[in-house]
Amino acid sequence: MDVLAMLREPARLADPYPLYAELRQRPPVRLPPGEIVLSRYSDVAAVLKDPMFRKPPLPRPPSKATRVLFRMFLLLDPPDHTRLRRVVAPAFAPSAVATLRSTATLVADRLITSVPSTFDLVRDFAYPQPLAVIGELLGIPDAERPKIGAWSRTLTESLDDPLPLRLRELPRGVRSIVQGRSHPVAAARAAAGIVGYAKQRMGGATGEPVTEFLETLDRAQHEGVINADEAVATWIMMVIAGHETTANLIGNSVLALLDRPDLRTRIHNDPTLMSRVVDECLRYDSPVPYTARTATEDTTINGIRIERGQTAVVFMSAANRDPDPFPDPDRLDLTRPQTPPHLGFASGIHFCVGSALAKLETEIALTTLLPRLSSDSHRGEVTRRPSVAVRGLAKFRIQLAPSATTRSTP
């Protein structure tokens, strides 16, 4: 059963959750290459938390730039994953992220006061806001951010049809290129571009000021904790993960809340609900639908036999709509208990290192946007990204309330 192909159908790109419900109700299916698909909360959570499951093997890097990108620690297992993550984790701890609140708020205010009365949420707000915040942290000047963002989107979209790992998967790779889903040349150029830029930025060739984060990476290199390629890969990973996921989360959240005026009223009357709103939106429509893990030994997960070397594709988005832990899962519910936790940021050792920053940025984005949007602003066509690996909006035109369009001249 080619679940991924089914999810690429236009109707399921718009709403994959009926298919997820079907998958949860039947025995686990296998993808054509043999991977087992898991969609129930208990199964997905068990795999993510079990250290016996490792990241799938990476293909042979086709270029020097790809070799560098493959050193991102989100692609690696311990001990390399642990070593590299430990270098950057303090910068994304809740206490450190709290210091970025004023920056994120200033960025959001600047963006919302610069848009016309009708604007594209994705292009004009959801992407620029987190990219500007992570750009401040990583030392990316304003003028360079659109270029960095374009490279990042190209690389993210390449996740939907990655390079084949085995010879028997080659026809799938060719078919993907022919059908226009895979763009290996564009991905290769984006990889070379962002790797080259990162090396220049970290080497001081751009002439931009050195940020505290860059100093952290430089110090880790001098202490022998990481090498030059790992430092570059870590910087790039922070760029991509630091705004792609959040941009999609902002878009998904605004779309969900515009369809629920009762919730918008509750949030307006009680702003302290915003943290819960973001967590519930993460559960309801996560920007990262699935991931994969490979078993290092024969095992059984809740009665499901998984053999050594077999890959489990675990759908966090399906697990987050499982009615067993989440009653009435297809409803946004701000009173929903926080246990068990949603899997919007995964779980286990690969739990998103930037989760606190993503939540802060989304809280600020929603706080900035929702009071300013017209009650009937959701009238334009919603265009989804044509991706299964990333769930987000490609285009979403919305309208400001009349009172929000009156702005003082700077």
Three-state secondary structure call for residue 400: strand
Structure tokens at 376: 């009937």
Closest CA to 45 of 230, 319, 280, 284: 319
What is each CA distance from 39 to 18, 19, 46, 289, 338, in whole angstroms?
A: 12, 10, 11, 10, 20
Q: What is the reported pLDDT for 308?
A: 95
Residue 384: is it exposed, middle or buried by C-beta count within 10 angstroms (0-12/13-18/19+)? buried
Fold of 3-405: Cytochrome p450 (1.10.630)
State the Cα torsion 318-322-326-327 to the nearest 10°.
130
Q: How far is residue 213's CA from residue 200's CA, in Å, rounded to a whole number?
A: 15
Q: What is the reported pLDDT for 104?
A: 96
**Residue 223, C-beta contacts closer than 8 angstroms, at least 6 positions apart:** none
Q: What is the DSSP string of 98-159?
A: HTTHHHHHHHHHHHHTTS-SEEEHIIIIITHHHHHHHHHHHT--GGGHHHHHHHHHHHHHGG
Closest CA to 119 of 398, 325, 373, 341: 398
Give the other-Cβ count within 10 Å of 11's Cβ. 10
Tokens 């500007």 found at: 132
**Residue 335, C-beta contacts closer than 8 angstroms, at least 6 positions apart:** none
Position 273, amino acid = L
Three-state secondary structure call for residue 207: coil
Q: How far is residue 137's CA from residue 131's CA, in Å, rounded to a whole number?
A: 10
Q: Are strands 53-54 and 299-301 parallel, antiparallel or unpaired?
A: unpaired
**Residue 204, C-beta contacts closer than 8 angstroms, at least 6 positions apart:** 210
CA 177 to chain centre: 24
Q: What is the largest CA-CA distance in the chain?
A: 66
Are 351 and 377 in contact, with CB atoms under 8 Å apart? no
In degrees and rounded to multiples of 5, residue 287 shows phi and psi of -75, -15
Q: How far is residue 230's CA from residue 80's CA, in Å, rounded to a whole number?
A: 10
Q: What is the reported pLDDT for 199?
A: 92
Give the other-Cβ count within 10 Å of 280's Cβ. 25
Every domain of the chain and the residues it spans: 3-405
Position 347, amino acid = S
In degrees and rounded to multiples of 5, residue 164 shows phi and psi of -60, 140
Report, as ranges of residue numbers, the positions in the chain whose pLDDT lies below 50: 162-182, 406-410
- The DSSP 8-state label assigned to residue 216 in this structure reads H
